[in-house]
């Protein structure tokens, strides 16, 4: 790889980080997704206050214009329920953006991020951005 290619790659990463408004936390878990009458599981790769990155089942065909329901089971009695829109797809990754989250799920998500980020001020700033 030439120095110029290396610089371009680094610039692309910097631009993506500047656009990202919410801190992602790597989090390995299984989520349940549902759209219409279909239900499936995906591997959660990371999560933020605004969305998540998931690894869908192989050969999964989905209309990205249809919102989906997502459930992340943290324990038997702690569940994060959200409505999402698929913002981008790749062969092995879907970027999901939250479009609706109930108050209890938001509290669970905040707690999950606090435990993993250990920066409450950052989380408060990001919550303020949500409005």
Q: Is residue 5 part of a domain?
A: no
**Residue 2: per-residue pLDDT:** 40
Confidence of residue 91 (pLDDT cuts 50, 70, 90): confident
Relative orientation angle of helices 103-117 and 120-130, to the nearest 10 degrees: 150
Residues 109-131: tens digit of each pLDDT: 999 999 998 888 988 898 888 77
Q: Is residue 18 part of a domain?
A: no
Residues 12-24: tens digit of each pLDDT: 444 344 455 799 9
Q: Is residue 9 part of a domain?
A: no
Confidence of residue 50 (pLDDT cuts 50, 70, 90): very high
CATH of the domain at 92: 2.40.10.220
Q: Is residue 97 part of a domain?
A: yes
Q: Is residue 15 part of a domain?
A: no
Domain count, the chain: 1
The CA-based dihedral angle spanning residues 109, 80, 58, 62, taken in that order and rounded to the nearest 10 degrees: -110
**What's the rounded Cα separation, in Å, for the pair 3 and 9?**
10
User: Could you count the other beta carbons within 10 Å of the beta carbon of residue 99?
Assistant: 12
**What's the rounded Cα separation, in Å, for the pair 23 and 98?**
14
**What's the rounded Cα separation, in Å, for the pair 42 and 93?**
10
Q: Is residue 1 part of a domain?
A: no
pTM beyond 0.85: no
Task: Give me the domain span that covers residue 81.
Answer: 23-130
**Residue 62: per-residue pLDDT:** 82
Q: Is residue 60 part of a domain?
A: yes
Q: Is residue 17 part of a domain?
A: no
């Amino acid at each position: 790889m030439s120095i110029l290619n290396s610089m371009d790659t680094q610039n692309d990463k910097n631009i993506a980080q500047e656009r990202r408004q919410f801190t992602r936390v790597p989090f390995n878990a299984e989520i349940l997704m549902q759209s219409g009458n279909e239900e499936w599981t995906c591997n959660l790769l990371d999560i933020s206050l605004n969305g998540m990155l998931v690894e869908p089942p192989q050969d999964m065909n989905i209309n990205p214009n249809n919102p989906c329901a997502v459930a992340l089971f943290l324990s038997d009695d702690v569940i994060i329920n959200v409505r999402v829109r698929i913002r981008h797809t790749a062969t092995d990754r879907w970027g999901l953006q939250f479009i609706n989250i109930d108050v209890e799920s938001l509290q669970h998500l905040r707690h999950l991020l606090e435990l993993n980020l250990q920066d409450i001020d950052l989380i408060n700033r990001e919550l303020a951005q949500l409005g």
